């Protein structure tokens, strides 16, 4: 049940149902999406990068905002502290889901 530390661009694209080119484009447009790169040039996204991508995805694809609109929104509504709080919330949600999965496995093993 180990949690992944890094995600490849294809995994992130699949999670959101987009093409990797969109992820590369948004990486250039938003400075807070900055994956690490392996020695071979493979992009390695942390959970924080995926969370940030999820915010941008929601604002653009689901709310219909433009790239500039998202930039302005972040300048007005989000500072580093707000992003950190959002990431803590997402981490807590993942932890809760993991604990629920563990409980389910333990319950099934009792039967």
70 pLDDT above the threshold of 60: yes
Check residues 91 and 69 and name the one with the higher pLDDT: 69
Secondary structure (DSSP) of 13-51:
HHHHT--HHHHHHHHHH-TT---EE-TT--EEE-HHHHH
Tokens 């219909």 found at: 64
Mean pLDDT over residues 95-111, rounded?
Answer: 83
Ramachandran quadrant class, 17 (left: phi over 0; alpha: psi -120 to 50; beta: rest): left
Tokens 């509504």 found at: 77
What pLDDT, on a 0 to 100 scale, did the predictor assign at position 18? 95
Check residues 12 and 106 and name the one with the higher pLDDT: 12
Strand partners, 82: none
Report, at the CATH architecture level, how domain 7-105 is classified.
Orthogonal Bundle (1.10)
Share of the chain above pLDDT 90, in %: 32
What pLDDT, on a 0 to 100 scale, did the predictor assign at position 7? 92
Using CA atoms, how far apart are residues 101 and 59, in angstroms rounded to an integer? 30
pLDDT class for 31, splitting at 50, 70, 90?
confident
**Domain extents in the chain:** 7-105
What pLDDT, on a 0 to 100 scale, did the predictor assign at position 54? 86
Mean pLDDT over residues 23-51, rounded?
Answer: 89
């Amino acid at each position: 049940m180990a949690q992944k530390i890094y995600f490849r661009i294809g995994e992130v694209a699949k999670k959101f149902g987009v093409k990797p080119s969109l992820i590369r484009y948004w990486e250039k447009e938003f400075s807070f999406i900055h994956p690490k790169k392996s020695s071979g040039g493979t992009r390695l996204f942390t959970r924080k990068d995926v969370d940030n991508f999820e915010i941008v995805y929601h604002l653009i694809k689901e709310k219909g905002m433009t790239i500039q609109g998202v930039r302005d929104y972040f300048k007005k509504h989000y500072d580093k502290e707000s992003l950190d709080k959002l990431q803590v919330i997402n981490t807590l949600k993942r932890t809760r889901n993991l604990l629920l999965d563990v409980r389910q496995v333990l319950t099934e093993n009792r039967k």
